[in-house]
């Protein structure tokens, strides 16, 4: 199953509004048009509007660090989902280990935040993970199971693919202790198994699971190469543009999601196809993934790609025949850009 990588920067209680604008501009200048991975910036509440203005028209999305489950009321210092939506926020972090530890947030309260986020078209990044004492006590999987099952209580099968889960080994964040790649993959695979039991394998394979245990440019390539690690929730490394940009580039290298790779995977591109005409102009060679080589570029009908995998090539040829039979040959979208 192809899952688009996601790199989310959690700035925590750092950066003023003006500092946030500077950092966001540096990031946008370098990777603002990157679409093969999802990128989310989560500044503090005071910088949401100013950073959001920088991100307008870019592929980088705006996220928040928290929200209150109530719509409004006497909740001093809190912020509602409606307020976040008013600032064009698309993602929100819920259940972060620091909220659980310092502010006493319970699994039940965090679950309310997840449901509120989904009800307001916000994508929750649900954080789960164990402390050092829980790790040393051998209760890692039990803690993660409780966090996942309680956090997702009431989330329907139709909603689950909008949820993003972030595994935080709390004991490996800012402590000098390091979680190995194998330890991270083990827990990510366990979370995937939990999702399979709750929602079935097809939906579980669509849910992205991020790693939140101090991912840095040095360890990102190895972590992102793991089967069940779909990106990172980045803390300290997101506060400096160069390190954050390097993490995004690592995600691209580990498994970008170019639209033309969807066809080889048996999926239709998300880009709408104009009706009629012919697919005359393939993407430039520099943009093609290494396992997709052009077989030919016909003057009419859909362009065909072959791969080292014979099964894929056969499927593409069959689709070509079906397209021609139903007179549904379509042109390459925005073909003028490649002429």
What residues are annotated to the active site? 96, 168
Length of the chain (residues): 339
Separation of alpha carbons 192 and 267, rounded Å: 22
Where b means 16+ CB within 10 Å and e means fewer, 61-83 reads: bbbbbbbbbeeeeeeeeebbbeb
Q: At what angle do helices 140-151 and 107-119 cross, to 10 degrees?
A: 40
Separation of alpha carbons 258 and 260, rounded Å: 6
Pull the structure tokens for residue 147: 């966090």
Separation of alpha carbons 29 and 90, rounded Å: 21
Distance of CA 51 to the CA centre of its chain: 19
The H or E element that residue 119 is part of is helix 107-119
């Amino acid at each position: 199953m192809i899952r688009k990588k996601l790199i989310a920067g959690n700035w925590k209680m750092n950066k003023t509004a003006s500092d946030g604008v500077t950092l966001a501009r540096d990031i946008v200048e370098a990777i603002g048009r990157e679409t093969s991975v999802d990128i989310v910036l989560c500044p503090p509440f005071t910088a949401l509007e100013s950073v959001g203005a920088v991100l307008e028209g870019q592929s980088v999305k705006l996220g928040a660090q928290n929200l209150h489950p109530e719509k409004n009321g006497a909740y001093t210092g809190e912020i509602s989902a409606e307020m976040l939506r008013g600032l064009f926020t698309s993602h929100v972090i819920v259940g972060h280990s620091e909220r659980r530890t310092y502010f006493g947030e319970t699994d039940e309260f965090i679950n309310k935040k997840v449901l509120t986020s989904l009800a307001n078209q916000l994508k929750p990044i649900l954080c789960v993970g164990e402390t050092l004492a829980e790790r040393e006590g051998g209760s890692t999987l039990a803690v993660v199971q409780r966090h996942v099952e309680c956090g997702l209580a009431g989330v329907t099968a139709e909603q689950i693919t909008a949820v993003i889960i972030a595994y935080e080994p709390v004991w490996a964040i800012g402590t000098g202790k390091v979680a190995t790649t194998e330890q991270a993959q083990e827990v990510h695979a366990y979370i995937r198994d939990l999702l399979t039991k709750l929602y079935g394998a097809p939906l579980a394979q669509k849910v992205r699971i991020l790693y939140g245990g101090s991912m840095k440019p040095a360890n990102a390539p190895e972590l992102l190469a793991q089967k069940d690690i779909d990106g990172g929730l980045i803390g300290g490394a997101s506060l400096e543009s160069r390190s954050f940009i390097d993490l995004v580039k690592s995600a691209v290298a580990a498994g970008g999601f170019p639209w033309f790779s969807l066809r080889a995977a048996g999926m239709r591109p998300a880009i709408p196809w104009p009706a009629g005409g012919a697919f005359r102009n393939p993407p430039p060679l520099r943009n093609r993934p290494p396992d997709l080589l052009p077989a030919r570029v016909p003057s009419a009908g859909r362009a065909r790609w072959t791969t080292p995998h014979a099964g894929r090539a056969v499927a593409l040829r069959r689709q070509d025949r079906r397209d021609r039979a139903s007179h549904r040959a379509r042109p390459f979208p925005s073909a003028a850009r490649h002429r």
